[in-house]
Amino acid sequence: MAMGQWDLALPLLLEGAGLAMIYVPLETTALSKIPRHLMADATGLSNVLKETGGAIGLAVFTSVFLRHSVVTRASVAAHLGMTNPLVAQRLAMMHGASRASALGQLSGIVSRDAAVLAYQHFFLLGGVMILTLLPLLLLLKIDRGANAHGESHEPDAMDLLEST
- Measure the CA–CA gap between 125 and 107, rounded to whole angstroms: 27
- Measure the CA–CA gap between 11 and 118, rounded to whole angstroms: 18
3-state helix, strand, coil in the chain (%, to 5): 75, 0, 25
Those residues with Cβ within 8 angstroms of residue 105's Cβ, 6 or more apart along the chain or in another chain:
94, 97
| pLDDT per residue as tens digits for the range 76-100 | 888 777 777 887 777 777 766 677 7
Q: Name the more confident of 163 and 33.
A: 33
pLDDT > 60? residue 71: yes
What pLDDT does residue 142 have? Answer: 62
pLDDT > 90? residue 5: no
- Measure the CA–CA gap between 77 and 87, rounded to whole angstroms: 11
The amino acid sitting at 133 is: L
Map out the domains of the chain as residue ranges: 44-80+108-134
Q: Is the pTM of this model over 0.75?
A: no
What does the pLDDT average to over 8-29? Answer: 84
- Under the banding of pLDDT at 50, 70 and 90, the label for residue 149 is very low
Q: Name the more confident of 75 and 149.
A: 75
pLDDT > 60? residue 150: no
Distance (Å) of CA 67 to CA 21, 111, 122, 126, 148: 32, 13, 11, 16, 53
What pLDDT does residue 132 have? Answer: 92
